[in-house]
Amino acid sequence: MAVSVAPEAPAVTAKVRRRSKRGGMAIAQRRAGLLFVTPYILFFLILQLAAFAFAIWVSFHHYDLLALDNPFVGLRNYTRLTINEDFLIAMRNTTEYAVVVVILQTAFALLLAVLLDSKIKGRNFFRTTWYTPSIASSVVISMIFLYVYHPTGLLNSILGLVGIHTTEAYLQSTTWALPAIMFLNIWTTAPTFMLMFLAGLQDIPKEIYEASSVDGASAARKLFSITIPLLRPIIFLVVSLGIIGAFQVFDQAYIMTHGGPLKATLTVALLIYQNLFNDTGTVGVACAEALVLGIIIFGLTLISRRVIDTKIEY
Amino acid sequence: MRSVRLGLALAAVGSVLLTACGGTSTGGGATSEADVSGTIRAANWGGNPTENSLVKKYEADFMVKYPKIKVTQEEIPTNFEDKIKTEMSANNEPDAMYVSTTLMNFAGPAGRLLDLTPLMSKWGVSSTEYIASLLTPWQLNGKLYALPKDFGDLVLFYNKTLFSNAGLATPASWDDIKADAKALSKGSVKGISLPADAARFDAFLFGFGGQVLSSDKTKAVFNDSKAQAALSYYTSFQLQDKSSDLPDKLGATWPGDAFGKQKAAMVIEGGWLIPYMHDTYPAVSYGSIKLPAFPVKQSSLLFTNGWGCSAKTKYQDACMLFVKYMTGKIVQQQVLQSGFALPSRKDLGTDPGITSNPDVKNLFDSATFATAWTFGPHESKVNDAQNTALQSVFLGKSDVKTALDKAVADANAALAGG
């Protein structure tokens, strides 16, 4: 994950620094620490930083995987994006997708977490079953949902049981294809975020709730005046991870709809893939698109930090 | 422990070096087939287990016939072209490989495939052994970059039971098909299922005298009056006659599925429908006809795949002998017997495997007037544009002319370099 929010991090380094004054043992420990992080740093440098730098370089070239000569084209790959209809469609789809998915999955995850945090019967059972969708790979889930959304599939069968008889082909409909993928994604990722909220809920001091009970606060009042404000760091984490994930949506669209019908589910990541592999001489365009997408995600994460992650005072 | 690991690592490196340098005798000087030696990596699409094990068997047979040549099978189960493309860009591609028309479009113009012409004359392979229309996808500037290993093309399949129940005779012309489709459309059953897919529509386009690309392949031209007439006709079944529907509207995943479920009485499909019907819908009784002549000419689409060599292979002669064998009579006869694909060779046209089955014969004979479905380095965008036009007309979002004009503009933007 690109964004790691670890509040403990400064404390850990401080501890290490304090210990290091005690001498030889600490130096050995520090060496061991460096040794442990070296494999990751190497992987990061080679597979991420070098690849990232190369992508920037490629984005200024008319680049093809098989061509021997890849001429420099300056900013052309970037300026073309502003008039490239596919990119604009993909951008609009992805934004729409991200807004709906991030809001709904955050709310849904919070709701599930609060429910599980209360002392309901069969808590462990719900905790396990609700988390199940997050365990399966998105590819597997997508394959399953191909049958759920099939004209004679599970969804329409269930609708038939309650008296709504339809053979709507959801994934072939320009109206329903994107919402269908949104729903599937909310369903699979919300439980992961539910776990983060659950962890956050454990951190809220019980005394605050007890004190508010003494003052006669209702359950709703407790949720909006205590739980949500005190969960802000976790909400920030969930929203930023949600934004990152939503803007990178690829597998579902790739497997279920290939971006169709009529580009209704063409996402930026899918377009990048198409330009990378399915066309000739458009690797530079793909890299430019990827960098623009990266900058957008980075910017949105910063903004959400500004808005949500303000300091908490107990 | 450490020294053991180091030793293993060195051994591994050593063996790589040995493999890499071992073939100093590339067979370049060899003049008889038995003297040719080498080690070749051969990549095939392995997505179909039956096909994959057949390839494995043919490669084993090849090594028995040519004991000095060692073949290592590299099966690529999915995204075949993507994998080969990345291997080529890392200069690590296999020596021999399936050259799909898609791969040809990427790798041929980029000079990454070996021109087989000189090697063919050296090792006694004549291009006249193959069906002529199957060679066109691999011809570029007087060079030939692969030999066809098999092919599929389109014919019209019809449901015999539904036809006889309605008292209809086997259709013989497009007028028959149009009238029969109307007569057969009742309730949830449609007379035909024509999908929003350029890989079906283009048979109509060519039959109406239209083209997808200009002859120099630099411009998209599928919006002229002929193309408009073709698309109007293709969509009229569904939009005017209500005698066709998209497969998903018929509760099917593809036209063949609708045909098997007897929701569509006719479909335009290829040889792959035969094993599919046999395995999935054995009870359905069906027959086939060659696509009747369209207003301008008779037409069908060819989908073919070949074997070719990397331009960088160190074992050119061994690779050529491998391609010769894998596209040769012995292998293709077995392919035909396995019911898997149609042979690309003329000399198998009289094989009982073809003549004894009227559907297979229709498919084999259609190759003479069929056009290879392949559109150059920007093919994917060209086909996206075509499919988008088809979808928007079928979904009622656009009329024929507007849809085609927009698609041609999109395709031309891609052809001009995105």
Q: Which of A151, A261, A280 sits opposite B378 (nearest CB)?
A: A280
B251/A152 Cβ within 8 A: yes
- A209: how many CB neighbours lie within 10 A of its CB? 14
Residues of A in contact with B410 (CB under 8 A): 85
Residues of B in contact with A285 (CB under 8 A): 418
**Distance between CA atoms of B226 and B208, rounded to whole angstroms?**
6
A260 touches B: beta carbon within 8 Å: yes
Q: Is residue A94 classed exposed, middle or buried when 0-12, 13-18 and 19+ CB atoms within 10 A define those classes?
A: buried
HSE-CB at A60 with a 13 A cutoff on CA atoms is 7
A88 touches B: beta carbon within 8 Å: no
Closest Cα of chain A to B107: distance in Å?
A: 7
State pLDDT tens for residues B299-330: 999 999 999 999 999 999 999 999 999 999 99
Among B209, B100, B198, which residue's Cα sits nearest to residue B408? B198
Q: What is the pLDDT of residue B47?
A: 83
Model confidence band, residue A224 (pLDDT cutoffs 50, 70, 90): confident
User: Which chain B residue has the Cα nearest residue A169?
Assistant: B248
Residues of B in contact with A150 (CB under 8 A): 251, 253
Model confidence band, residue A15 (pLDDT cutoffs 50, 70, 90): very low
Check if the beta carbon of residue A251 is closer than 8 Å to that of residue A139: yes
**Distance between CA atoms of B324 and B144, rounded to whole angstroms?**
13
Backbone dihedral angles phi then psi of residue B98, each to the nearest 5 degrees: -60, 130
Q: What is the pLDDT of residue A152?
A: 81
B88/A280 Cβ within 8 A: no
pTM attached to this predicted model: 0.81
Residue B372: strand pairing partners: B302
ipTM of this model? 0.78
State pLDDT tens for residues A115-130: 888 777 888 888 888 8
B380/A279 Cβ within 8 A: yes
Backbone dihedral angles phi then psi of residue B92, each to the nearest 5 degrees: -135, 35
Positive or negative, the CA dihedral B245, B250, B256, B261 is: negative
Could you give the 3-state DSSP secondary structure of residue A70? Answer: coil
Task: State the average pLDDT for chain B.
Answer: 89
Lowest mean pLDDT among A48-52, A155-159, A258-262, B326-330: A258-262
Closest Cα of chain B to A174: distance in Å?
A: 9
B418/A281 Cβ within 8 A: yes
The yes-or-no verdict on residue A23 having pLDDT over 90 is no
Could you give the 3-state DSSP secondary structure of residue B190? Answer: strand
**Distance between CA atoms of A250 and A237, rounded to whole angstroms?**
21
Q: Which of A66, A263, A282 sits opposite B85 (nearest CB)?
A: A66
Percent of chain B with pLDDT over 90: 75
By DSSP bridging, strand B96-100 and strand B38-45 are parallel
Could you give the 3-state DSSP secondary structure of residue B72? Answer: strand
The yes-or-no verdict on residue B4 having pLDDT over 80 is no
Among B286, B233, B230, B224, which residue's Cα sits nearest to residue B258? B286
State pLDDT tens for residues B257-278: 999 999 999 999 998 899 899 9
User: Which residues touch B314 (CB under 8 Å, ≥6 apart)?
Assistant: B23, B26, B38, B95
**Amino acid identity, position A64:** D
Q: What is the pLDDT of residue B34?
A: 85
Distant-in-sequence contacts of B172-177, Cβ < 8 A, 24+ apart: B172/B289, B172/B292, B173/B292, B173/B293, B174/B292, B174/B293, B174/B294, B176/B292, B177/B266, B177/B292
User: Which residues touch B398 (CB under 8 Å, ≥6 apart)?
Assistant: B389, B392, B406
A262 touches B: beta carbon within 8 Å: yes
B418/A285 Cβ within 8 A: yes
Choose the mutation target among B106, B245, B254, B374 for the interface with A, i.e. most A CBs under 10 Å. B106
Place of tokens 């404390």: A11
The yes-or-no verdict on residue B104 having pLDDT over 70 is yes
User: Which chain B residue has the Cα nearest residue A261?
Assistant: B391
Model confidence band, residue B338 (pLDDT cutoffs 50, 70, 90): confident
Stretch B14-21: mean pLDDT: 37
Residues of B in contact with A261 (CB under 8 A): 391, 395
Which H or E element spans position B97?
Answer: strand B96-100
**Distance between CA atoms of A162 and A314, rounded to whole angstroms?**
49
Stretch B90-117: mean pLDDT: 94
Q: What torsion do the CA atoms of A234, A235, A241, A244 make, to the nearest 10 degrees? A: -150
Positive or negative, the CA dihedral B171, B177, B183, B185 is: positive
Choose the mutation target among A54, A65, A256, A258 for the interface with B, i.e. most B CBs under 10 Å. A65
Check if the beta carbon of residue B332 is closer than 8 Å to that of residue B83: no
User: Which chain A residue has the Cα nearest residue B375?
Assistant: A279
B105/A150 Cβ within 8 A: no
Q: What is the pLDDT of residue A204?
A: 86
Stretch A55-61: mean pLDDT: 93
User: Which chain B residue has the Cα nearest residue A152?
Assistant: B251
- A224: how many CB neighbours lie within 10 A of its CB? 12
Model confidence band, residue A177 (pLDDT cutoffs 50, 70, 90): very high
Residues of A in contact with B82 (CB under 8 A): 277
Distant-in-sequence contacts of B271-275, Cβ < 8 A, 24+ apart: B271/B152, B271/B153, B271/B341, B271/B342, B271/B359, B271/B360, B271/B363, B272/B152, B273/B157, B274/B339, B274/B359, B274/B360, B275/B339, B275/B340
A277/B82 Cβ within 8 A: yes
A263/B110 Cβ within 8 A: no
Model confidence band, residue B407 (pLDDT cutoffs 50, 70, 90): very high
A54 touches B: beta carbon within 8 Å: no
Q: What is the pLDDT of residue A120?
A: 78
Residues of B in contact with A170 (CB under 8 A): none
Q: What is the pLDDT of residue A310?
A: 66
User: Which chain A residue has the Cα nearest residue B392?
Assistant: A262
Positive or negative, the CA dihedral A130, A136, A142, A148 is: negative
Q: Which of B106, B377, B395 sits opposite A174 (nearest CB)?
A: B395
CA distances from A131 to A127, A190, A195, A196, B153 (A): 6, 9, 8, 12, 48
The yes-or-no verdict on residue A20 having pLDDT over 60 is no
Place of tokens 């696509």: B291
Q: Which residue has the higher pLDDT, B14 or A156?
A: A156
A154 touches B: beta carbon within 8 Å: no
Q: Which of A152, A260, A282 sits opposite B418 (nearest CB)?
A: A282
Check if the beta carbon of residue B63 is closer than 8 Å to that of residue B70: yes
**Distance between CA atoms of B5 and A297, rounded to whole angstroms?**
44
User: Which residues touch A81 (CB under 8 Å, ≥6 apart)?
Assistant: A87, A285, A288, A289, A292
State pLDDT tens for residues B147-175: 999 999 999 999 999 999 999 999 999 99
Closest Cα of chain A to B396: distance in Å?
A: 12
Among B184, B188, B186, B176, which residue's Cα sits nearest to residue B160? B184
A152/B391 Cβ within 8 A: no
Closest Cα of chain B to A171: distance in Å?
A: 9
Closest Cα of chain B to A19: distance in Å?
A: 33
State pLDDT tens for residues B114-138: 999 999 999 999 999 999 999 999 9
**Distance between CA atoms of A107 and A80, rounded to whole angstroms?**
38
A65/B418 Cβ within 8 A: no
Which H or E element spans position B403?
Answer: helix B400-415
A156 touches B: beta carbon within 8 Å: no
Could you give the 3-state DSSP secondary structure of residue B75? Answer: strand
A167 touches B: beta carbon within 8 Å: yes
Residues of A in contact with B387 (CB under 8 A): 260
Beta carbon pairs, A and B, within 8 Å: 69
Q: What is the pLDDT of residue B167?
A: 95
The yes-or-no verdict on residue B58 having pLDDT over 50 is yes
Largest CA distance in chain A: 77
Range list of H helices, B66-197: 80-89, 101-107, 117-122, 160-165, 174-184
The yes-or-no verdict on residue A202 having pLDDT over 70 is yes
A263/B418 Cβ within 8 A: no
A169/B249 Cβ within 8 A: yes
Chain mean position to CA A279: 28
| Peptide bond between residue B295 and the one before it cis (omega within 30 degrees of 0) | no
The yes-or-no verdict on residue A251 having pLDDT over 60 is yes
A64 touches B: beta carbon within 8 Å: yes
A260/B391 Cβ within 8 A: yes
**Distance between CA atoms of A64 and B109, rounded to whole angstroms?**
12
Task: Write the DSSP symbol of residue B127.
Answer: G
